Chains A and B, each alone.
Chain A
Amino acid sequence: MHLDERQVQRVLHGELAGAEDEAARAHLATCASCKEQVAAAEREENEIHALLGTLDHEPPRIHARAFTTAHAAHVAHAARSSRAAWRRRAAGLLVALGAAGTAYALPGSPLPAWVDAVVERLGSLADSSARRPATSAPAATEPAPGPRQATTEGRSGIAVDPGSSLLILFARAQGEGHVEIVLSDGSAVEVLAPPAAASFTSDVNLLRIDNAGTAARFRIEVPRAAPRVEIRVAGKRIFLKEGPRITAEPAATRGSYVLPLAP
Protein backbone atom coordinates (compact mmCIF):
# COMPACT_ATOMS: atom_id res chain seq x y z
CA MET A 1 0.00 0.00 0.00
CA HIS A 2 1.39 3.37 -1.03
CA LEU A 3 2.04 6.29 1.27
CA ASP A 4 -0.75 8.82 1.52
CA GLU A 5 -0.32 12.57 1.57
CA ARG A 6 -0.17 12.76 5.34
CA GLN A 7 2.56 10.12 5.44
CA VAL A 8 4.55 11.77 2.68
CA GLN A 9 4.59 14.99 4.67
CA ARG A 10 5.50 13.21 7.86
CA VAL A 11 8.33 11.35 6.19
CA LEU A 12 9.57 14.62 4.75
CA HIS A 13 9.52 16.28 8.15
CA GLY A 14 10.76 13.34 10.20
CA GLU A 15 7.46 13.19 12.06
CA LEU A 16 6.77 9.48 11.76
CA ALA A 17 7.63 7.30 14.70
CA GLY A 18 7.51 3.74 15.85
CA ALA A 19 5.92 1.07 13.75
CA GLU A 20 4.52 3.53 11.22
CA ASP A 21 7.98 4.95 10.64
CA GLU A 22 9.47 1.50 10.16
CA ALA A 23 6.71 0.50 7.77
CA ALA A 24 7.11 3.69 5.73
CA ARG A 25 10.87 3.26 5.48
CA ALA A 26 10.47 -0.34 4.40
CA HIS A 27 7.97 0.68 1.76
CA LEU A 28 10.12 3.52 0.44
CA ALA A 29 13.02 1.14 0.05
CA THR A 30 11.05 -0.80 -2.53
CA CYS A 31 8.58 1.67 -4.05
CA ALA A 32 10.03 4.06 -6.61
CA SER A 33 6.71 5.87 -6.98
CA CYS A 34 6.44 6.79 -3.31
CA LYS A 35 10.12 7.62 -3.16
CA GLU A 36 9.57 10.04 -6.02
CA GLN A 37 6.56 11.52 -4.23
CA VAL A 38 8.67 12.27 -1.19
CA ALA A 39 11.41 13.74 -3.39
CA ALA A 40 8.88 15.90 -5.22
CA ALA A 41 7.40 17.09 -1.95
CA GLU A 42 10.87 18.00 -0.78
CA ARG A 43 11.60 19.93 -3.98
CA GLU A 44 8.32 21.78 -3.70
CA GLU A 45 8.99 22.68 -0.09
CA ASN A 46 12.49 23.89 -0.87
CA GLU A 47 11.13 26.09 -3.65
CA ILE A 48 8.50 27.55 -1.36
CA HIS A 49 11.04 28.23 1.37
CA ALA A 50 13.25 29.98 -1.15
CA LEU A 51 10.32 32.13 -2.22
CA LEU A 52 9.49 32.95 1.39
CA GLY A 53 13.10 33.93 1.89
CA THR A 54 12.67 36.77 -0.59
CA LEU A 55 10.50 38.49 2.01
CA ASP A 56 13.19 38.53 4.65
CA HIS A 57 14.70 41.62 6.22
CA GLU A 58 17.82 42.13 8.26
CA PRO A 59 17.17 40.52 11.64
CA PRO A 60 17.38 42.60 14.81
CA ARG A 61 20.42 42.11 17.01
CA ILE A 62 19.08 41.29 20.43
CA HIS A 63 20.87 38.98 22.80
CA ALA A 64 19.36 36.85 25.52
CA ARG A 65 21.67 38.02 28.31
CA ALA A 66 21.02 41.68 27.61
CA PHE A 67 17.33 41.01 27.58
CA THR A 68 17.33 39.31 30.97
CA THR A 69 19.80 41.75 32.47
CA ALA A 70 17.72 44.72 31.47
CA HIS A 71 14.60 43.03 32.73
CA ALA A 72 16.20 42.19 36.08
CA ALA A 73 17.25 45.79 36.48
CA HIS A 74 13.80 46.95 35.57
CA VAL A 75 12.17 44.65 38.10
CA ALA A 76 14.65 45.42 40.87
CA HIS A 77 14.13 49.09 40.48
CA ALA A 78 10.38 48.76 40.31
CA ALA A 79 10.39 46.93 43.63
CA ARG A 80 12.25 49.73 45.35
CA SER A 81 10.50 52.68 43.96
CA SER A 82 7.06 54.02 43.36
CA ARG A 83 8.27 56.48 40.77
CA ALA A 84 6.63 56.71 37.41
CA ALA A 85 7.09 53.82 35.02
CA TRP A 86 9.26 55.70 32.60
CA ARG A 87 11.81 56.20 35.37
CA ARG A 88 12.09 52.45 35.76
CA ARG A 89 13.12 52.29 32.18
CA ALA A 90 15.99 54.63 32.85
CA ALA A 91 17.18 52.68 35.88
CA GLY A 92 17.00 49.50 33.88
CA LEU A 93 19.24 50.96 31.29
CA LEU A 94 21.74 52.20 33.82
CA VAL A 95 22.10 48.87 35.55
CA ALA A 96 22.17 47.06 32.25
CA LEU A 97 24.97 49.29 31.12
CA GLY A 98 26.80 48.66 34.36
CA ALA A 99 26.69 44.95 33.69
CA ALA A 100 27.70 45.36 30.11
CA GLY A 101 29.93 48.38 30.45
CA THR A 102 33.08 47.10 28.84
CA ALA A 103 31.41 45.63 25.83
CA TYR A 104 29.24 48.69 25.50
CA ALA A 105 32.26 50.86 24.96
CA LEU A 106 33.88 48.63 22.38
CA PRO A 107 33.88 50.03 18.87
CA GLY A 108 31.35 48.22 16.77
CA SER A 109 29.76 46.57 19.75
CA PRO A 110 26.09 45.75 19.17
CA LEU A 111 25.42 46.31 22.86
CA PRO A 112 24.31 49.91 22.74
CA ALA A 113 21.63 49.29 20.20
CA TRP A 114 20.16 46.25 21.80
CA VAL A 115 20.40 47.45 25.37
CA ASP A 116 18.67 50.63 24.34
CA ALA A 117 16.09 48.68 22.41
CA VAL A 118 15.40 46.22 25.19
CA VAL A 119 15.14 48.82 27.88
CA GLU A 120 13.06 51.13 25.82
CA ARG A 121 10.81 48.20 25.11
CA LEU A 122 10.50 47.51 28.82
CA GLY A 123 9.70 51.12 29.43
CA SER A 124 7.15 51.30 26.71
CA LEU A 125 5.38 48.25 28.08
CA ALA A 126 5.13 49.82 31.49
CA ASP A 127 4.34 53.28 30.25
CA SER A 128 0.90 54.06 29.02
CA SER A 129 2.39 56.87 26.99
CA ALA A 130 4.51 54.33 25.17
CA ARG A 131 6.84 55.67 22.55
CA ARG A 132 8.07 53.87 19.49
CA PRO A 133 10.89 51.51 20.48
CA ALA A 134 14.37 51.94 19.15
CA THR A 135 13.94 48.96 16.89
CA SER A 136 11.05 50.60 15.15
CA ALA A 137 10.97 52.26 11.80
CA PRO A 138 11.65 55.97 11.63
CA ALA A 139 8.69 57.72 13.12
CA ALA A 140 7.83 59.67 10.07
CA THR A 141 4.93 61.37 11.75
CA GLU A 142 7.13 62.96 14.40
CA PRO A 143 8.84 66.29 13.85
CA ALA A 144 12.46 66.09 12.95
CA PRO A 145 15.12 66.19 14.15
CA GLY A 146 14.48 64.41 17.41
CA PRO A 147 16.00 61.65 19.50
CA ARG A 148 13.86 58.99 17.86
CA GLN A 149 15.22 59.93 14.50
CA ALA A 150 18.76 60.06 15.81
CA THR A 151 18.39 56.61 17.29
CA THR A 152 17.35 55.17 13.98
CA GLU A 153 20.38 56.76 12.41
CA GLY A 154 22.59 54.47 14.43
CA ARG A 155 23.14 56.50 17.54
CA SER A 156 22.92 55.14 21.03
CA GLY A 157 21.72 56.85 24.09
CA ILE A 158 20.37 56.93 27.57
CA ALA A 159 17.33 58.37 29.29
CA VAL A 160 17.39 59.40 32.94
CA ASP A 161 15.07 60.99 35.44
CA PRO A 162 16.24 64.55 36.14
CA GLY A 163 14.82 64.38 39.66
CA SER A 164 15.15 67.60 41.64
CA SER A 165 18.69 68.14 40.42
CA LEU A 166 20.84 66.36 37.86
CA LEU A 167 24.51 66.86 37.13
CA ILE A 168 25.67 65.61 33.74
CA LEU A 169 29.39 65.22 33.71
CA PHE A 170 31.47 64.72 30.58
CA ALA A 171 34.56 62.93 31.81
CA ARG A 172 36.93 64.73 29.50
CA ALA A 173 37.21 67.65 27.17
CA GLN A 174 37.46 67.04 23.47
CA GLY A 175 39.56 68.79 20.87
CA GLU A 176 36.59 68.84 18.54
CA GLY A 177 32.95 67.99 18.68
CA HIS A 178 30.21 69.57 20.67
CA VAL A 179 27.08 68.95 22.64
CA GLU A 180 23.80 70.23 21.32
CA ILE A 181 21.26 70.88 24.06
CA VAL A 182 17.60 71.30 23.32
CA LEU A 183 14.67 71.77 25.63
CA SER A 184 11.94 69.19 25.38
CA ASP A 185 8.43 68.65 26.59
CA GLY A 186 9.33 65.14 27.71
CA SER A 187 9.94 63.90 31.22
CA ALA A 188 13.42 62.44 30.87
CA VAL A 189 16.82 63.85 30.14
CA GLU A 190 17.93 62.03 27.03
CA VAL A 191 21.51 61.82 25.89
CA LEU A 192 22.34 60.64 22.40
CA ALA A 193 25.80 59.74 21.24
CA PRO A 194 27.35 58.11 18.20
CA PRO A 195 27.94 54.38 18.62
CA ALA A 196 30.97 53.60 20.80
CA ALA A 197 31.53 57.29 21.48
CA ALA A 198 30.69 56.99 25.15
CA SER A 199 29.61 54.83 28.02
CA PHE A 200 27.34 55.99 30.78
CA THR A 201 27.25 55.48 34.53
CA SER A 202 24.92 56.98 37.03
CA ASP A 203 24.40 57.64 40.66
CA VAL A 204 21.77 59.62 42.46
CA ASN A 205 21.52 63.00 40.74
CA LEU A 206 24.57 62.25 38.58
CA LEU A 207 25.01 61.05 35.02
CA ARG A 208 28.59 60.53 33.99
CA ILE A 209 29.44 60.37 30.29
CA ASP A 210 32.77 58.72 29.62
CA ASN A 211 33.35 60.19 26.22
CA ALA A 212 35.92 58.05 24.47
CA GLY A 213 36.80 59.92 21.33
CA THR A 214 38.11 63.38 20.55
CA ALA A 215 35.50 64.62 18.13
CA ALA A 216 32.15 63.08 19.00
CA ARG A 217 29.00 65.15 18.86
CA PHE A 218 26.36 64.64 21.49
CA ARG A 219 22.78 65.72 21.79
CA ILE A 220 21.02 66.18 25.08
CA GLU A 221 17.34 66.82 25.51
CA VAL A 222 16.48 68.55 28.74
CA PRO A 223 12.85 68.65 29.87
CA ARG A 224 11.56 72.16 30.30
CA ALA A 225 9.99 71.01 33.54
CA ALA A 226 13.29 69.79 35.03
CA PRO A 227 14.02 71.89 38.13
CA ARG A 228 17.81 71.87 37.80
CA VAL A 229 20.16 70.41 35.22
CA GLU A 230 23.82 71.23 35.09
CA ILE A 231 26.33 70.06 32.49
CA ARG A 232 30.06 70.11 33.09
CA VAL A 233 32.97 69.16 30.89
CA ALA A 234 35.99 67.96 32.85
CA GLY A 235 34.74 69.88 35.85
CA LYS A 236 33.95 73.09 34.00
CA ARG A 237 30.31 74.14 33.90
CA ILE A 238 29.03 74.81 30.39
CA PHE A 239 25.28 74.74 30.96
CA LEU A 240 22.95 75.35 33.86
CA LYS A 241 19.20 75.27 33.93
CA GLU A 242 17.50 76.36 37.12
CA GLY A 243 13.77 76.43 36.69
CA PRO A 244 13.10 78.54 33.60
CA ARG A 245 16.47 80.31 33.79
CA ILE A 246 19.27 79.00 31.59
CA THR A 247 22.91 79.95 31.69
CA ALA A 248 25.02 78.84 28.76
CA GLU A 249 27.73 80.25 26.57
CA PRO A 250 27.12 80.74 23.69
CA ALA A 251 23.41 81.46 23.95
CA ALA A 252 20.83 79.45 22.11
CA THR A 253 20.37 79.83 18.42
CA ARG A 254 17.34 78.46 16.64
CA GLY A 255 16.12 76.76 19.77
CA SER A 256 19.23 74.84 20.72
CA TYR A 257 22.46 75.40 22.55
CA VAL A 258 25.52 74.18 20.66
CA LEU A 259 28.33 74.12 23.16
CA PRO A 260 31.91 73.06 22.52
CA LEU A 261 33.45 70.30 24.56
CA ALA A 262 36.87 71.89 24.30
CA PRO A 263 39.11 72.27 27.37
Chain B
Amino acid sequence: MGTSSSFQDRFEELFTAHFHRLWRFMDRLTGEPDLAADLVQDAFLKLLERGSLPDAPESWLITVTLNLFRNQRTTRARRGRLLTLARAAEIQGDPAPAPDQVAMAGDSRRGVRTALERLPERERALLLLRAEGYSYRDLAAALDLNEASIGVLLARAKRAFRAHYEDKEGAGDAPR
Protein backbone atom coordinates (compact mmCIF):
# COMPACT_ATOMS: atom_id res chain seq x y z
CA MET B 1 0.00 0.00 0.00
CA GLY B 2 1.42 3.33 -0.94
CA THR B 3 0.58 6.50 0.81
CA SER B 4 0.53 9.70 -1.18
CA SER B 5 2.62 12.53 0.17
CA SER B 6 -0.46 14.71 0.51
CA PHE B 7 -2.18 12.08 2.61
CA GLN B 8 0.93 11.59 4.68
CA ASP B 9 1.36 15.33 5.17
CA ARG B 10 -2.25 15.68 6.23
CA PHE B 11 -1.95 12.65 8.45
CA GLU B 12 1.08 14.09 10.18
CA GLU B 13 -0.74 17.38 10.68
CA LEU B 14 -3.61 15.52 12.24
CA PHE B 15 -1.31 13.45 14.38
CA THR B 16 0.53 16.52 15.61
CA ALA B 17 -2.68 18.41 16.30
CA HIS B 18 -4.68 15.62 17.85
CA PHE B 19 -2.55 12.87 19.29
CA HIS B 20 -2.01 14.52 22.62
CA ARG B 21 -5.55 15.88 22.83
CA LEU B 22 -6.96 12.44 22.23
CA TRP B 23 -4.46 10.86 24.55
CA ARG B 24 -5.33 13.29 27.37
CA PHE B 25 -9.02 12.68 26.76
CA MET B 26 -8.53 8.93 26.99
CA ASP B 27 -6.14 9.23 29.91
CA ARG B 28 -8.76 11.16 31.85
CA LEU B 29 -11.51 8.84 30.72
CA THR B 30 -9.74 5.61 31.63
CA GLY B 31 -7.30 6.71 34.32
CA GLU B 32 -4.73 4.55 32.55
CA PRO B 33 -2.17 6.55 30.59
CA ASP B 34 -0.62 3.51 28.94
CA LEU B 35 -3.93 2.14 27.83
CA ALA B 36 -4.79 5.60 26.53
CA ALA B 37 -1.57 5.69 24.51
CA ASP B 38 -2.27 2.25 23.08
CA LEU B 39 -5.79 3.10 22.06
CA VAL B 40 -4.93 6.41 20.44
CA GLN B 41 -1.99 4.91 18.57
CA ASP B 42 -4.26 2.15 17.34
CA ALA B 43 -6.77 4.70 16.11
CA PHE B 44 -4.09 6.58 14.19
CA LEU B 45 -2.82 3.31 12.77
CA LYS B 46 -6.28 2.55 11.51
CA LEU B 47 -6.34 5.94 9.84
CA LEU B 48 -2.95 5.30 8.22
CA GLU B 49 -4.02 1.89 7.04
CA ARG B 50 -7.21 3.38 5.66
CA GLY B 51 -5.01 5.32 3.25
CA SER B 52 -7.38 8.25 2.84
CA LEU B 53 -8.98 10.78 5.09
CA PRO B 54 -12.60 10.48 6.15
CA ASP B 55 -14.85 13.49 5.67
CA ALA B 56 -14.43 14.54 9.28
CA PRO B 57 -11.14 13.06 10.47
CA GLU B 58 -11.29 14.59 13.94
CA SER B 59 -14.61 13.03 14.85
CA TRP B 60 -13.61 9.83 13.03
CA LEU B 61 -10.57 9.53 15.28
CA ILE B 62 -12.65 10.12 18.38
CA THR B 63 -15.21 7.54 17.33
CA VAL B 64 -12.58 4.93 16.51
CA THR B 65 -10.74 5.55 19.76
CA LEU B 66 -13.93 5.20 21.77
CA ASN B 67 -14.86 2.02 19.90
CA LEU B 68 -11.44 0.59 20.61
CA PHE B 69 -11.93 1.47 24.25
CA ARG B 70 -15.28 -0.31 24.35
CA ASN B 71 -13.71 -3.37 22.78
CA GLN B 72 -10.93 -3.18 25.29
CA ARG B 73 -13.42 -3.49 28.10
CA THR B 74 -13.74 -7.16 27.30
CA THR B 75 -10.33 -7.54 28.88
CA ARG B 76 -11.16 -5.27 31.77
CA ALA B 77 -10.62 -7.93 34.39
CA ARG B 78 -7.10 -8.55 33.23
CA ARG B 79 -6.33 -4.85 33.01
CA GLY B 80 -7.73 -4.42 36.45
CA ARG B 81 -5.21 -6.86 37.81
CA LEU B 82 -2.34 -5.18 36.00
CA LEU B 83 -3.43 -1.79 37.17
CA THR B 84 -3.69 -2.97 40.73
CA LEU B 85 -0.23 -4.40 40.60
CA ALA B 86 1.15 -1.30 38.91
CA ARG B 87 -0.44 0.86 41.56
CA ALA B 88 0.97 -1.32 44.27
CA ALA B 89 4.43 -0.98 42.76
CA GLU B 90 3.93 2.77 42.47
CA ILE B 91 2.98 3.04 46.10
CA GLN B 92 5.82 0.82 47.23
CA GLY B 93 8.27 2.82 45.13
CA ASP B 94 7.20 6.20 46.43
CA PRO B 95 9.50 8.15 48.70
CA ALA B 96 8.28 8.79 52.21
CA PRO B 97 5.05 10.74 51.78
CA ALA B 98 4.33 14.17 53.17
CA PRO B 99 1.04 13.08 54.72
CA ASP B 100 -0.97 16.28 54.42
CA GLN B 101 -0.05 17.00 50.84
CA VAL B 102 -0.44 13.43 49.73
CA ALA B 103 -3.78 13.13 51.40
CA MET B 104 -5.08 16.36 49.91
CA ALA B 105 -3.87 15.60 46.41
CA GLY B 106 -5.16 12.06 46.65
CA ASP B 107 -8.54 13.19 47.93
CA SER B 108 -8.88 15.73 45.15
CA ARG B 109 -7.97 13.27 42.43
CA ARG B 110 -10.18 10.62 43.90
CA GLY B 111 -13.04 13.08 44.10
CA VAL B 112 -12.61 14.11 40.49
CA ARG B 113 -12.36 10.50 39.37
CA THR B 114 -15.44 9.53 41.34
CA ALA B 115 -17.42 12.48 40.04
CA LEU B 116 -16.47 11.61 36.47
CA GLU B 117 -17.36 7.98 36.86
CA ARG B 118 -20.78 8.86 38.20
CA LEU B 119 -21.62 10.62 34.97
CA PRO B 120 -23.24 8.61 32.22
CA GLU B 121 -20.65 7.66 29.63
CA ARG B 122 -21.93 10.09 27.04
CA GLU B 123 -21.83 13.07 29.38
CA ARG B 124 -18.41 12.06 30.60
CA ALA B 125 -17.07 11.90 27.07
CA LEU B 126 -18.77 15.16 26.19
CA LEU B 127 -17.24 16.97 29.14
CA LEU B 128 -13.77 15.59 28.53
CA LEU B 129 -13.79 16.16 24.79
CA ARG B 130 -15.00 19.71 25.18
CA ALA B 131 -12.18 20.27 27.66
CA GLU B 132 -9.86 19.40 24.78
CA GLY B 133 -11.46 22.09 22.68
CA TYR B 134 -13.30 19.94 20.18
CA SER B 135 -16.02 21.77 18.29
CA TYR B 136 -19.70 21.12 18.74
CA ARG B 137 -19.75 19.64 15.25
CA ASP B 138 -17.02 17.15 16.15
CA LEU B 139 -18.70 16.32 19.44
CA ALA B 140 -22.04 15.73 17.75
CA ALA B 141 -20.54 13.51 15.06
CA ALA B 142 -18.34 11.51 17.41
CA LEU B 143 -21.01 10.93 20.05
CA ASP B 144 -23.96 10.64 17.68
CA LEU B 145 -25.74 13.66 19.10
CA ASN B 146 -27.73 16.48 17.62
CA GLU B 147 -25.38 19.43 17.30
CA ALA B 148 -28.13 21.81 18.41
CA SER B 149 -28.39 20.04 21.75
CA ILE B 150 -24.68 20.06 22.58
CA GLY B 151 -24.79 23.29 24.58
CA VAL B 152 -27.58 22.11 26.84
CA LEU B 153 -26.00 18.66 27.29
CA LEU B 154 -22.69 20.27 28.17
CA ALA B 155 -24.28 22.53 30.74
CA ARG B 156 -26.05 19.51 32.23
CA ALA B 157 -22.86 17.47 32.31
CA LYS B 158 -20.98 20.26 34.07
CA ARG B 159 -23.73 20.69 36.65
CA ALA B 160 -23.80 16.97 37.31
CA PHE B 161 -20.04 16.78 37.58
CA ARG B 162 -19.95 19.66 40.07
CA ALA B 163 -22.74 18.13 42.10
CA HIS B 164 -20.98 14.77 42.27
CA TYR B 165 -17.67 16.37 43.08
CA GLU B 166 -19.13 18.42 45.90
CA ASP B 167 -20.96 15.38 47.19
CA LYS B 168 -17.95 13.15 47.69
CA GLU B 169 -19.64 11.37 50.50
CA GLY B 170 -22.59 10.39 48.37
CA ALA B 171 -23.25 6.77 47.68
CA GLY B 172 -24.10 4.99 44.50
CA ASP B 173 -22.38 3.02 41.83
CA ALA B 174 -20.94 4.75 38.84
CA PRO B 175 -22.82 4.07 35.65
CA ARG B 176 -20.63 2.42 33.02
Tell whether A7 is near chain B: CB-to-CB under 8 Å: yes
A62 interface residue (CB < 8 Å to B): yes
- Whether, in the assembled complex, A223 has its beta carbon less than 8 Å from a beta carbon of chain B, the answer is no
- B72: CB under 8 A from chain A? no
Question: Is B82 a contact partner of A48 (Cβ separation < 8 A)?
Answer: no
Structural contact, A137 and B86, CB atoms closer than 8 A:
yes
Which residues of chain A in 211-260 are interfacial with respect to chain B, using CB atoms and an 8 Å cutoff?
Answer: none
Residues from chain A with a CB closer than 8 A to the CB of B41 are 62, 67, 117-118, 121, 133, 135
- Measured between beta carbons, the chain A residues less than 8 angstroms from B53 are none
- B167 interface hit (Cβ, 8 Å): no
Q: Which residues in window 39-76 of A have CB below 8 A to B?
A: 41, 44-45, 48-49, 51-52, 54-60, 62, 64-65, 67-68, 71-72, 75
- Closest B residue to A5 by beta carbon equals B155
* SS class, residues of chain B in contact with chain A: helix
| Complex Cα gap A49–B19 (Å) | 19
B67 within 8 A of A: no
- When C-beta atoms are compared, the residue in chain A nearest to B112 turns out to be A51
Pairwise interchain contact B28-A138, C-beta atoms closer than 8 A: no
Q: For the complex, is A188 an interface residue (Cβ under 8 Å from B)?
A: no
Within 8 A of A (CB), among B9-53: 11-13, 15-16, 19-20, 23-24, 27-28, 31-35, 37-38, 41-42, 44-45, 48
Q: Determine which of B12, B34, B86 lies in contact with A68 in the assembled complex, contact meaning CB atoms within 8 Å.
A: B12
Choose from A6, A51, A65, A137 the contact partner of B34 (Cβ within 8 Å). Answer: A137
Question: What is the predominant secondary structure among interface residues of chain A facing chain B?
Answer: helix
- Across the interface, name the chain A residue whose C-beta is closest to B7: A68
Contact B158 A48 (CB under 8 A): yes
Smallest CB separation, B46 vs chain A (Å): 9
A43 to chain B, nearest CB (A): 11
Q: Do A60 and B33 contact each other (CB < 8 Å), given the known contacts A7-B151, A68-B8?
A: yes
Measured CB to CB, the residues of B under 8 A from A are 1, 3, 8, 11-13, 15-16, 19-20, 23-24, 27-28, 31-35, 37-38, 41-42, 44-45, 48, 81-83, 85-86, 88-89, 105, 108-109, 112-113, 116, 127-128, 130-131, 135-136, 148-152, 154-155, 158, 161-162, 165
- 10 residue pairs of the A-B complex, CB under 8 angstroms, read A48-B162, A49-B131, A55-B112, A60-B33, A64-B12, A68-B15, A72-B3, A117-B37, A137-B83, A139-B82
